Structure 1
Amino acid sequence: MTRRRSPSRKPRQPAANAHKDLGRRNPGRLRLIGGEYRRRQLPVLDHPGLRPTPDRVRETLFNWLAAATPGARVLDLFAGTGALGLEALSRGARQAVFVEHDSRVGRQLADNLATLGAAERGRLVTADALAFLSADPTHFSLVFLDPPFRQGLTEACCKALEAGWLADDALVYVETESALTPEVPASWQLHRQVRAGDSTGRLYRRHPPGSGSTGGDAC
């Protein structure tokens, strides 16, 4: 996941999660903060606006996901640096699929998977996220969704995920601009949320019809 702000002129295609804090100095390194690869530092491509999700946000999110991450099948859409998917692998996820449109950003992510010795558990798909979601689905138990801001992609991706991509009890983390409260499928219940700068992250738990679900918490 990356942290960028969309440019004022809409690009023809969203590139590498191009939003949030565009123009800030690229820190150049991604530090994993928990699990098997704890404290490992990985290079981040020198690419406009690309930077890892801050440690504080990742730590909060993975505290929420502590019981769900081990053994999970993870989908990291609009992966960028892959910070969230890599953190999930470090904390015991069984498999992670990283979907990244920009080929240069994707190559760096693939190199980082190889550096960690995680290439067998982490698979890079160089593709547009919605094009990826239009293929035959397979179930994931944990999904990270951080599309470019203000490009109308969030709700389309949520709808596509519900068409066969999610396990019955899947968890979906959605990050959007704070001004947007996305419409999500009726089977998704808000479990936790956190605001950081101009973005808000929401963790949803999926409860399909007939599952006897109960409401979640927000904090």
Structure 2
Amino acid sequence: MRVVAGIFGGRPLKTLDGKTTRPTSDKVKGAIFSMLGQFFEGGRVLDLYAGSGSLSIEAVSRGADAAVLVERDRKAQQIIIENIEMTKETERFSLMKMSSERALSLVDMAFDLVFLDPPYAEEQVVKDITFLEEKSLITSSATIVCETDKNVMLPETIGSFSCAKEKVYGISRITIYERNEVSR
């Protein structure tokens, strides 16, 4: 696994062995960023189930200002720390070593890009997006990227967000939500 593009492009990323996380393949990661637009002009990223930290590191590599990564698995936390250190720009990343629920109750900033890849996808994605919106933890122009098993069908709308794009890559389904135009 590696950083696909941007200022950290080509650098190797460590990943966790075992079944506690499902690392996003370079192919799927490249596809996600093709769907989002290749590069960003600033903004804050929230990676709520960070795993190896690959997606948020990729976003910062491509122009996001900073990222908050949330991970409760201790082995995954160590991999994230090593991957963040590889960037040589550790100040742009913040790792919250706790559950997603606890992290959401503690964060006090709004995010422009949110990555959701929870273990129990369908119910958790709806719950997370609803909470993020209710607590004003997402900007008015935020994009939410959900990665689930290909068999998981997320709702067309969640709160003021609608499915903007959806694509299946191998065993993964990528669903991208954007705020409805009337809500902006």
**Both structures adopt the same fold (TM-score exceeding 0.5):** yes
Q: Is the 8 A contact 2:68 2:93 kept in 1?
A: yes
* Cα distance change, pair 51–176 in 1 and its aligned pair in 2 (3 A): closer
Correspondence for 1:17:
none
Q: How large is the RMSD of aligned CA atoms in angstroms?
A: 2.1
Correspondence for 2:31:
60
Unmatched segments (≥5 aa) in structure 2: none
Q: Is the 8 A contact 1:139 1:167 kept in 2?
A: yes
What is the CA-CA distance between 1:185 and the residue it aligns to?
2.3
Correspondence for 1:36:
7
Q: Is the 8 A contact 2:13 2:54 kept in 1?
A: no
Correspondence for 2:62:
91
Correspondence for 1:11:
none
Runs of 4+ residues over 4 Å off in structure 1 = none
Query: In terms of Rg, which structure is larger?
Result: 1
Q: Is the 8 A contact 1:169 1:207 kept in 2?
A: no
Cα deviations across residues 23-45 of structure 1 (Å, max 9, x unaligned)?
xxxxxxx2111011111012223
TM-score normalised to structure 2 length: 0.88
Cα deviations across residues 77-130 of structure 1 (Å, max 9, x unaligned)?
110011110100111110000000112211221122112112100110011112
Higher helix share goes to which structure? Answer: 2
Higher mean displacement: 174-183 or 116-125:
174-183
1:204 aligns with 2:177: yes
Correspondence for 1:13:
none
Q: Report the Cα distance in structure 2 between the residues aligned to 1:69 and 1:103, rounded to whole angstroms.
A: 30
Unmatched segments (≥5 aa) in structure 1: 1-29, 212-219
Cα deviations across residues 10-69 of structure 1 (Å, max 9, x unaligned)?
xxxxxxxxxxxxxxxxxxxx2111011111012223343545311111111112222662
Higher mean displacement: 112-121 or 73-82:
112-121
Q: Report the Cα distance in structure 1 between the residues aligned to 2:54 and 2:24, rounded to whole angstroms.
A: 6
Within the candidate set 97, 105, 120, 1:134 is matched to 105
TM-score normalised to structure 1 length: 0.75
Q: Is the 8 A contact 2:38 2:62 kept in 1?
A: no
